[in-house]
Structure 1
Amino acid sequence: MDMRFLESFVTVVESGSIADAARRLDLAPTTVAQQIRALEADLGSRLLMRAGRTVKPTVAGARIVDHAKQLLEGVQTLRSAASDTGLPAGPLRLGATPTALTGLLPPLMRRWMHVYPDIQIYVEPGTSSLLLGRVQDGSLDAAILVHPAFELPKTCGWTPIRDEPLILLTPARMRVTDPLLTIARHPFIQYDRKVVAGKMADDYLRRQGIRTKVQFELDGIEHIAQLVAEGFGVSVLPDWPGLGSPDPRVRRWPLPAPCPSRQVGMVWVRGSPRSPLADALHAHLDSIPEARQQQKTRP
Structure 2
Amino acid sequence: MDSEFLESLLMVIDHGSVAEAARRLGISATAVAQRISVLEDQVGTRLVARVGRTVKPTVAGAAIVERARDIVRDVDALRAVASAGRVEGEFRLGATSSAIIGLLPPVLKKLASKHPGLELHVTPGASTSLYEKLQANEIDAALLVEPPFPLGKAYSWATVRIDPYVFLASAKLKNTPPRELVRSQPFIRYDRGVWGGRLADIWLRSHRYRPTERFELDALDAIAVLVDQGLGVSLVPDWHGPWPEGIRLAKIPVPVDPIYRKTGFLWPRNSLHLRQIETLVAEALSAFPMSPLD
Displacement, 1:272?
A: 2.4
Alignment-derived partner of residue 143 in structure 1: 142
| Aligned counterparts of 2:67 and 2:59: Cα–Cα separation in 1 | 14
**Counterpart amino acid of 1:210?**
Y
Distance 2:255 2:13 in 1: 47
Structure 1: gaps of 5 or more residues: none
Q: Which residue of 1 aligns with 2:170?
A: 171
Could you say which residue in structure 2 is the equivalent of 1:3? 3
In 2, distance between residues paired with 1:262 and 1:218?
17
Cα-to-partner distance string for 1:85-128 (whole Å, 9 max, x where unaligned): 84264133222111111111122212222221222322111111
Deviates more, 1:41-50 or 1:68-77: 41-50
Deviation at 1:186, TM superposition (A): 1.7
Give the Cα–Cα distance (whole angstroms) in 2 for the partners of residues 50 and 169 of structure 1.
Answer: 50
Q: Summarize the Cα distance change of 1:186–1:27 in structure 2 as closer, same or farther, 3 Å threshold.
A: farther
Gaps of 5+ in 2: none
1:18–1:55 contact (8 Å) kept in structure 2: yes
Q: CA deviation at 1:259?
A: 2.8
Matched, 1:280 2:267: no
Query: Sequence identity, in percent?
Result: 40
Partner of 2:261: 262
- Give the partner amino acid of 1:270: R
Letter in 2 for 1:79: R
Shift of 1:204: 1.7
Secondary structure at the counterpart of residue 111 of structure 1: helix
Q: Is the 8 A contact 1:80 1:87 kept in 2?
A: no
Structure 1 residues 184 and 108: alpha-carbon distance in aligned structure 2, compared to 1, 3 A threshold: same
CA contact (8 A) 1:48 1:61 kept: no
| Partners of 1:93 and 1:141 within 8 A in 2 | yes
Q: Is it true that 1:68 corresponds to 2:68 in the alignment?
A: yes
Secondary structure of 1:94's partner? strand
Tell me whether 1:93 sits opposite 2:92 in the alignment: yes
User: Structure 2: which amino acid aligns with 1:167?
Assistant: V
**1:152 maps to what in 2?**
151
Q: Following TM superposition, by how much is the alpha carbon of 1:144 offset from its aligned partner in structure 2, in angstroms?
A: 0.9
Mapped to 1, the partners of 2:36 and 2:114 lie a distance apart of: 37
* Aligned-partner residue type, residue 70 of structure 1: D
The aligned residue for residue 293 of structure 1 is 290
Q: Which amino acid aligns with 2:284?
A: L
**TM-score, with length taken from structure 1:** 0.83
- Measure the CA separation in 1 of the matches of 2:91 and 2:244: 30
Partner Cα distance (2:86, 2:29) in 1: 33
Q: CA deviation at 1:158?
A: 0.5
Counterpart in the other structure of 2:161: 162
**Partners of 1:17 and 1:182 in 2: how far apart?**
50
1:1-299 correspondence to structure 2 within 5 Å: 1-15=1-15, 18-29=18-29, 31-33=31-33, 35-36=35-36, 38-40=38-40, 42-43=42-43, 44-47=45-48, 50=51, 60-83=60-83, 86-87=85-86, 89-243=88-242, 247-289=246-288, 292-293=289-290
C-alpha change, 1:246 and 1:57, in structure 2 (3 Å) is same
How far, CA to CA, are the matches of 2:229 and 2:22 in structure 1? 35
Q: RMSD over aligned Cα, in angstroms?
A: 2.9
Provide the TM-score with structure 2 as the length reference: 0.85
- Equivalent residue pairs, number: 293
Give the partner amino acid of 2:117. D
Q: Indicate the larger mover: 166-175 or 14-23.
A: 14-23
Question: Which of 144-153 and 106-115 deviates more?
Answer: 106-115
State whether residues 164 and 238 of structure 2, in contact with CA within 8 Å, keep that contact through their aligned partners in structure 1.
yes
CA contact (8 A) 1:79 1:88 kept: no
User: Secondary structure at the residue paired with 1:92?
Assistant: strand
8 A contact 1:135–1:143 mirrored in 2: yes
Q: Per-residue deviation at 1:31?
A: 4.5
Could you list the per-position Cα deviations for residues 210-254 of structure 1 after superposition, in whole angstroms to 9, with x for gaps in the alignment?
222222222221222232233332221122111378753333221
> Using the alignment, how far apart are the partners of 1:230 and 1:29 within structure 2?
45
Q: Measure, in 1, the Cα distance between the counterparts of 2:180 and 2:62.
A: 54
**Residue 77 of structure 1 contacts residue 274 of structure 1 at CA under 8 Å; is this kept in 2?**
no
Mapped to 1, the partners of 2:186 and 2:165 lie a distance apart of: 18
Give 3-state SS (helix, strand or coil) of 1:194's partner: coil
